[in-house]
Structure 1
Amino acid sequence: MKRIKLLIALLALAVIAAGCSSAEGIYSDKGQVFRKVIPQDISSLDTALATDTVSFDLYNQVYEGLYTLDKNDKAQPGVAKEMPKKSNGGKTLTINLRKNAKWSNGDPVTAHDFEYAWKRVVNPDTAAEYAYIMYDIKNAEDINMGKKDIDDLGVTALDDHTLKVELTKPIPYINEMFAFGAFMPQNEKVVKKNGEQYATTADKTVFNGPFKVKDWKVEDKIQLVKNEDYWDKKAVKLDRVNYKVLKDQQAGASLYDTASVDDTTITADQVDKYQDNPGLKKRLLASTFYIKMNQDNVPEFKNKDLRLAIAQSINKEGYVNSVKNNGSEATDGFTAKLTADTPDGKDFADSIDSPLTYNPKAAKQHFEKAKKDLGIKELTFTMNTEDTPDAKISAEYIKAQVESTLPGVTLKIKQLPFKQRLNQESSETFEASLSGWGPDYPDPLTFLNIMTTGNAQNNTAWSSEKYDQLVKDANGKLLKKPEERNAAMKEAEELLLNDAPVAPVYQKGEAHLTNPQVKGLIYHQIGGDTSLKDVEIDKSIDRETGKKK
């Protein structure tokens, strides 16, 4: 163990040395710079194509939509200079844009940039997995299904600074939804100039947020600099933001110890070590993690008793206490806590009755019935996870739980780079996958929608007409009937959990080491994880004690 720790420290120092070859290397603290370790790389700089939280977090820094989210996850004007003017019973929105918004190449940000970007997302040729998030816009679904022309989308630039959006129905959380990454603008001239190479590198992209990407080395680092063309640049205090891609969280802690980074997550066995460190912070995120079971690639997963057996075989409290130890919580549900409240002010997740509690006896009974119905004595399947030390420990715990509770089941672990795991889910070339989801807007539908038939995120081959109808009603005829709408969503989630196409394991927590000098850092529960626009490094604070020098 001592040798391993020494090796980790030496590797961290080697990484530091490699990054300090220039005065403003990735670990340099010269000027106002925020340095953060991230566990995996972004998937794309193209806001139409990303589906992962790491990319959406970056988008919060380098792009800006009509609205941004404040510290309470409420919409505030971004490129829009005010809230929408509503007409037609709330189905038509007229949005005035500020005239001083610019791209990082000096081009003005106009209403046409939003019209073009949104049409690109719903265009079936783009193959955007997030196209469905725009289905509340008039004709979006028909366009995405190839039934209508792209120009029929209910978004129109009336002039350079006026955008008209026609919805299929009034949406109570529409302003917060407009802050999400898929709704951010794109510069048509730049997209067309670069073609298939658009957004593959920093120099083939333009940015309209507080920062712009200066350098992106895949699976290594992302360096941002202040965007001098940003309309509100006077409010931006940081000169630079440096992200270091590091899959080994222990190495991240070593970098923090040497004052080479300002923020990193740490592993379960490191939390006790830093218990008295002023930089230790724990937070619960509105993200649930679960095992997806692909019924097409493992036909046995079509058996409901088998799915229930797997879902009930894992000691989740043991998992979050021994494997995570970072603020994560065991969960038996699908919609995460902190996503949305019920009409009477309670957390929607707390209202759900789930059968998927840890129950070894019930799990064994379901497995015996499944074996009899399927005519099998044993089952082997492979579960995908990421290629990080932390992910391996997590997967091995789940493997041990499933195999010990259900004799005859063999769970193989397949570790993949983050992007490859996502790609295998998207192409449905997996058997099982330890996956997760976080909210894109503050409503249970942000979770429930993804399990509807045909949704790009529903990679399980599970389908339920009743479930689909309940979700459709909650997003349609019940929108103005909050009690009935809440009941429909509750019924939908409980139907899902009783069928168990996924096996919930935990709600994500994070243990961070964050430099006490970092002020103004905003964390979000929906959309991208952070906003860095207001961050400032207060060097009058002692990093080691958290107190004034």
Structure 2
Amino acid sequence: MIKLFMLFTLVGLVLTGCNFSSSKDTTSENDENSKTTKAKQVLNMVEASEIPTMDSSLAHDNVSFTVLSNVNEGLYRLGKASEPELAMAKDDQVSEDGLVHTYTIRDANWSNGDPVTAADFVFAWQRVFKETGQYGSMFETANILNASEIVTGEKQADTLGVKALDEKTLEVTLTTPNALLGQLLTFPTFLPQNQKFVESQGEKYALEADNLLYNGPFILSEWKHDASWKYQKNTKYWDADTVKLDEVNVFVVKEAATQLNLYDTNKVDSINLSSASVDQYKDDKDFITLADSEIFFLRFNHNHKALGNKNIRRAIDMSWDKQAHVDRILNNGSLALYGLVPKNFSTSPTGKDFRELNGELNHGDIKEAQAYLAKGLKEIGQDSVDITLTVSAVEGNDKTAEYLKNQLEKNLPQVKIKLKLVPVEQRYELESALEYEMVISAWGPDYIDPMTYIGMWVTKGSANRMDYSNPKYDALVKNISSEEDTTKRYEMMLEAEKMLFEDAAIAPLYQRGLAVLQRSTINGLVRHPSGPDFSFKWTEIDAE
């Protein structure tokens, strides 16, 4: 059983010069005898960064996932309770051995009027591998035939176990049955793409709002890079009657003070408060704190001479006060983290929380950390070590980085930290290219199962991005993927997490919490614990 979160949230910023609509905007309708005024359903939001990409074959971040999932739709989508529900597929017929799923594509159209077909899924899924998208591993997780061999280069993308039997019938073949398949298919990497349109756009595909097609509840009607974007209701969407919002405006600005001013002046409808503002607003009627399943952690480049040493990595993990960090620096409901899988995310077949079962890993004191550092320095033949810590230049991250630097240098005098702040997109690029030493990274779950965290660290995995490798860990993860006994599978996942921390492969920082101000007139804004952050399909603004 999984514990889900329904959160109402927004993060980010707004630039000078943006036009702000109001959720109270009205439109007039005239007839011969009367004039009525109808409230226009407008939601104004803030986001922390630009959209890195609108190509679902390449997307690998929550901002892109959220936009893509609101303007497009796959075979399944996440519903109001974050459970998978049929979307572009009308049904899912499964063979007796559980290996073949046959989907009937419902009558639905792209925003240019073309019908959505089974071939759109075949093209898009194969394209993930052809475009070297980072989420080819999701097809492995789904147990889709030949996915593993395509990832390793043994087979070509066109051998993937997906086939269009006719215009409206899609066949998906698995290597082993997968009870999580419906949930996995809600992930944006599995969205369809119109081959004719994609190829007609060439290198311009997905670079602007006009270089895209949409088959979801909304269309992206405007995209001003680094400034804002606008969703408008997609009148051609198959379930358009369910969609109540006419428009969603998302503004991009980084400063927390600007966010707060925009909220106070009714320019935006919800914000995440910075730690500095929590105490001032904690008694406000619109203030709420929300637990999240996104984790923040230190990613180490295992090719670095010092950080390739297990004892030095363990020393860094143990040497600072995580509880003081979430209490004093973040002050937003975040939780200190001493593991990989966060609290209240997954429960075992016996009903116990994963984090409770595995406890706090690598939770030592400063003396232990100093002893591990001394041992590690001796092993690499150095008296000290200089480390560059790369950090996304998003408000709040700088405070965490400064706190971490001060704690490490105070408690481990032989360690010197240099901070390097970079844009979010550049941090992704540096991680992927292994052009960093140590980086503050984040991971939001792709699906609601501990494997979404555990599967990250297999050798050469697309999410690994630090050259960590343990053949025993790889073998265990592979066995978990094929284990059908739920109790045994859960025990194996617990073992895998312990193995990762025996290697001190990463250093967990915290489980994100959110301190939010949100207007009480907003209903049905659904926050998901995995994949896209939230859905607008069921959102409605009440009259005040």
TM (normalized to structure 1)? Answer: 0.91
1:381 maps to amino acid: I
426, 429, 445: which is aligned to 1:439? 445
SS in 2 for 1:475: helix
SS in 1 for 2:220: strand
| Residue of structure 2 equivalent to 1:388 | 394
| Residue of structure 1 equivalent to 2:133 | 128
Q: Quick one: distance in 2 between partners of 1:201 and 1:278?
A: 39
List aligned pairs for 1:381-530, cutoff 5 A. Answer: 381-476=387-482, 478=483, 480-530=484-534
| Residue of structure 1 equivalent to 2:98 | 90
| Residue of structure 1 equivalent to 2:10 | none
Contact residue 26 and residue 223 of structure 1 kept, 8 A: no
Q: How large is the Cα RMSD of the aligned pairs?
A: 1.5
Contact residue 219 and residue 245 of structure 1 kept, 8 A: yes
Q: Quick one: distance in 2 between partners of 1:81 and 1:421?
A: 40
SS in 2 for 1:439: coil
Q: Quick one: distance in 2 between partners of 1:444 and 1:13?
A: 35
Residue 152 (structure 1) shift: 1.5
Contact residue 41 and residue 220 of structure 1 kept, 8 A: yes
Residue 88 (structure 1) shift: 4.4
Moved more, 390-399 or 370-379: 370-379
Q: Quick one: distance in 2 between partners of 1:457 and 1:395?
A: 22
Residue 189 (structure 1) shift: 1.2
| Residue of structure 2 equivalent to 1:173 | 180
SS in 2 for 1:367: helix
Q: Quick one: distance in 1 between partners of 2:473 and 2:195?
A: 39
SS in 2 for 1:146: coil
Q: Against the structure 1 CA distance between its residues 282 and 181, is the aligned structure 2 distance closer, same or farther, given a 3 Å change threshold?
A: same
| Residue of structure 1 equivalent to 2:348 | 342
| Residue of structure 2 equivalent to 1:117 | 124
Q: Quick one: distance in 2 between partners of 1:500 and 1:151?
A: 39
The question of 1:274 aligning with 2:278 is answered no
363, 370, 381: which is aligned to 2:369? 363
| Residue of structure 2 equivalent to 1:142 | 149
SS in 1 for 2:90: coil
Q: Quick one: distance in 2 between partners of 1:149 and 1:293?
A: 32
| Residue of structure 2 equivalent to 1:537 | 541
2:212 maps to amino acid: T
Q: Quick one: distance in 1 between partners of 2:343 and 2:110?
A: 37
2:306 maps to amino acid: E
2:307 maps to amino acid: F
SS in 2 for 1:272: helix
Residue 55 (structure 1) shift: 1.0
Residue 337 (structure 1) shift: 2.6
Residue 340 (structure 1) shift: 2.3
Residue 366 (structure 1) shift: 0.5
| Residue of structure 1 equivalent to 2:323 | 317
Moved more, 276-285 or 213-222: 276-285
Contact residue 23 and residue 41 of structure 2 kept, 8 A: no
Tell me the matched-pair count. Answer: 516
SS in 2 for 1:61: helix
Residue 389 (structure 1) shift: 3.0
Contact residue 243 and residue 537 of structure 2 kept, 8 A: yes
Contact residue 122 and residue 134 of structure 1 kept, 8 A: no
| Residue of structure 1 equivalent to 2:57 | 48
Greater helix fraction, Structure 1 or Structure 2: 1
Q: Quick one: distance in 1 between partners of 2:18 and 2:503?
A: 50
Q: Quick one: distance in 2 between partners of 1:348 and 1:14?
A: 42
Q: Against the structure 1 CA distance between its residues 429 and 27, is the aligned structure 2 distance closer, same or farther, given a 3 Å change threshold?
A: farther
Q: Quick one: distance in 2 between partners of 1:437 and 1:533?
A: 25
Residue 358 (structure 1) shift: 4.8
Q: Quick one: distance in 1 between partners of 2:443 and 2:537?
A: 25
182, 185, 195: which is aligned to 2:202? 195
Q: Quick one: distance in 2 between partners of 1:177 and 1:29?
A: 38
Residue 28 (structure 1) shift: 7.0
List aligned pairs for 1:187-336, cutoff 5 A. Answer: 187-296=194-303, 298-336=304-342
Contact residue 339 and residue 439 of structure 1 kept, 8 A: no
Residue 226 (structure 1) shift: 0.8
Contact residue 39 and residue 248 of structure 1 kept, 8 A: no
SS in 2 for 1:175: helix
| Residue of structure 2 equivalent to 1:39 | 48
SS in 1 for 2:396: helix
The question of 1:151 aligning with 2:140 is answered no
SS in 2 for 1:85: strand
Moved more, 495-504 or 136-145: 136-145
Residue 106 (structure 1) shift: 1.1
Contact residue 328 and residue 510 of structure 1 kept, 8 A: yes
Residue 89 (structure 1) shift: 1.4
| Residue of structure 2 equivalent to 1:6 | none
Contiguous gaps of at least 5 residues in structure 1: 1-11, 541-549
Cα deviation 1:331-379 (Å, max 9, x = unaligned): 1001223432211122222221443225211101101111222221111
Q: Quick one: distance in 1 between partners of 2:351 and 2:402?
A: 39
Contiguous gaps of at least 5 residues in structure 2: 1-12, 26-39
SS in 1 for 2:419: strand
Residue 178 (structure 1) shift: 0.4
SS in 2 for 1:81: strand
Residue 144 (structure 1) shift: 3.0
Residue 13 (structure 1) shift: 9.9
Percentage of identical aligned residues: 37
Cα deviation 1:50-87 (Å, max 9, x = unaligned): 111111111221111111112332111111123x2111
1:426 maps to amino acid: S
Moved more, 343-352 or 361-370: 343-352
Residue 486 (structure 1) shift: 1.2
Contact residue 314 and residue 358 of structure 1 kept, 8 A: no
Q: Against the structure 1 CA distance between its residues 498 and 26, is the aligned structure 2 distance closer, same or farther, given a 3 Å change threshold?
A: farther
TM (normalized to structure 2)? Answer: 0.92
Q: Quick one: distance in 2 between partners of 1:108 and 1:335?
A: 41
2:105 maps to amino acid: L
Q: Quick one: distance in 2 between partners of 1:160 and 1:96?
A: 9
Contact residue 48 and residue 252 of structure 2 kept, 8 A: yes
Cα deviation 1:243-277 (Å, max 9, x = unaligned): 11121122111100000001211111111111122
The question of 1:59 aligning with 2:68 is answered yes
Residue 29 (structure 1) shift: 4.8
| Residue of structure 2 equivalent to 1:379 | 385
Q: Against the structure 1 CA distance between its residues 325 and 504, is the aligned structure 2 distance closer, same or farther, given a 3 Å change threshold?
A: same
Q: Quick one: distance in 2 between partners of 1:237 and 1:270?
A: 32
Q: Quick one: distance in 1 between partners of 2:98 and 2:448?
A: 19
Contact residue 384 and residue 421 of structure 1 kept, 8 A: yes
Q: Quick one: distance in 1 between partners of 2:272 and 2:214?
A: 28
Cα deviation 1:377-399 (Å, max 9, x = unaligned): 11111111111231111110111
Q: Against the structure 1 CA distance between its residues 385 and 237, is the aligned structure 2 distance closer, same or farther, given a 3 Å change threshold?
A: same
1:127 maps to amino acid: T
SS in 1 for 2:417: strand
